[in-house]
Amino acid sequence: MMAAMHSPMTLPTEVARAAPDRIEAVGWGAFVGPETARPGLELDTGWCEKRRFRAKPGDKLITPGEGGRADVVLGFGDRGQVSAATLRLAGAAFARSTGEAKTIALDLSGISDLGIGAELAVGAAIEGFWGARYRFTRYHAGDPDPLESLTIVVAAEEVAPAERGLERGRVIADATRLARDLSNEPAGALTPVQLAEVAVEIATRCGLEVTVLDEAAIAEAGLGGLLGVAAGSVQPPRLIKLVYDPPAALASKWPDGTVPTVALVGKGITFDSGGLSLKTPEGMLTMKTDMSGAADVIATLGACRALGVAVRVVGLAPTAENMPGGRATKPGDVLKIRNGKTIEVVNTDCEGRLVLADGLSLAAEEEPDCIVDLATLTGACVVALGSRIAGLMGNDDRVIAAIHAASERAGEPTWPLPLPDAYRSDIDSEVADMKNQGKRAAGTITAALLLQEFVADRPWAHLDIAGPSRSDEDSGEFRKGSTGFGVRTLLELLGSYEPLNSPAAGAAGGKVIA
């Protein structure tokens, strides 16, 4: 059973008022300007300049300390502008600077004096640290992480909030690590059936309701898009549904007793060959990560209870392989989706929108307060926004604004794109309600316009994570490979969620068209 591929982090990590006596590396912050170092430690500014250390966020400088200890100086930027993003970069830089050290400490004492609370600061630092420390070593022989303990040093009055931040940061980092593990797993080792097994194990461990539909149940449910994509593969498809219901103590926060539901839908193509519209060999190299949206949804649901999420969350992951077998869907075939609408398949490599159409139809039937889907959907989005920013589209300004704000707080950049009705004709079909690919221009938008056909009247937003779901290099908090992009944004959204009929959610919504 594939669930054994991932287990929660168990490395000893603690908050303390001082670093342990025997420590091999300690990190501390320095600022831009004349007051570069913290009190009691001095930096030779000339020496720093020669080594191009300017104390900007993400900068690091390793200096010899007492008794062979390494002092890692971390850039905190301008003293008055320290933020969660600053601490994530500092945590990541520290993780990359400790080498083979077994016992390390990160000194954040007095961090509250900089205008950022200890809880937020420590949580962000832990996210950055474990993000950069992450390594996918399942297939490496004898390559363990040497680290044995991490101590976060804070002032006495900061201990309690720092401990809360440490726990929250650990849970979020672990959820992100799960998403990365799943997306980094070779497609031959993580089929749709095996991904469903992982989801069942996560549900059991994290107190979730779980339902898995096999191919017979998928056919009975009328999920024609999912069946059509899976038709060419010997690996059968699965529809994974996870449900998180908040405990009564959390649900009681809603004054009218009605707990809002948020539906999350993630694209789960465990390998995308392109089908009969075959990709190039180079184009297939990273297609094991085409299930990053589903991985994000599974990981997010798994963290909801530990983070005290107060809304009901329904997670749906339609999962399949897209292969060019003898029974594969052909260009020109027509598929009927769960909600009764039909799609002409003009390009079998535009398969993600076909499985999402079924997933979104099921999500709409839950009558949620809103629907959010995540998908490595279009190369066009990478062309438009690059590899660090996700495209954000939808049919309701309030949902888009809430996700955009959550992504900014979470340090996962998104950028709203328009969704104009004028482009809907680009996916008109002669033989069906629509076709699965429009013109070359505005490919990200026309893909989202197709998805919009399957959300009924529910407020909805779509995140195209094709760019930031994978990193091609070790940079900042990321290692080469899957990034788990989207998990932090979803958890931030759920943790701060305001129902759309609430005054706090803003004015009445509508389509973003410009």
DSSP for residue 424: G
Other Cβ atoms within 10 Å of 433 Cβ, number: 17
Q: What is the dihedral of CA 429, 435, 440, 441, to 10 degrees?
A: 80
Residue 279 among the catalytic residues? yes
Q: Which one of 353, 409, 470, 479 is the catalytic residue?
A: 353
Handedness of CA 363, 364, 367, 369 (dihedral sign): positive
Question: Which residue, chain included where needed, has tokens 């994509």?
Answer: 229
- Which residue type, as a one-letter code, is found at position 191? T
Cα–Cα distance measured from residue 438 to residue 141, given in angstroms and rounded to the nearest whole number: 47
CB 478 within 8 A of CB 132: yes
Q: Which one of 96, 135, 138, 279 is the catalytic residue?
A: 279
156 contacts: CB under 8 Å, gap ≥ 6: 17
Cα–Cα distance measured from residue 37 to residue 47, given in angstroms and rounded to the nearest whole number: 13
425 contacts: CB under 8 Å, gap ≥ 6: none
Return the ∠ at Cα 105 (arms to 103 and 111), rounded to 5°.
Answer: 170
Helices 84-97, 118-133: inter-axial angle, 10-degree rounding: 40
Helix (H) or strand (E) holding 63: strand 60-64
Q: Show which residues are catalytic.
A: 279, 353
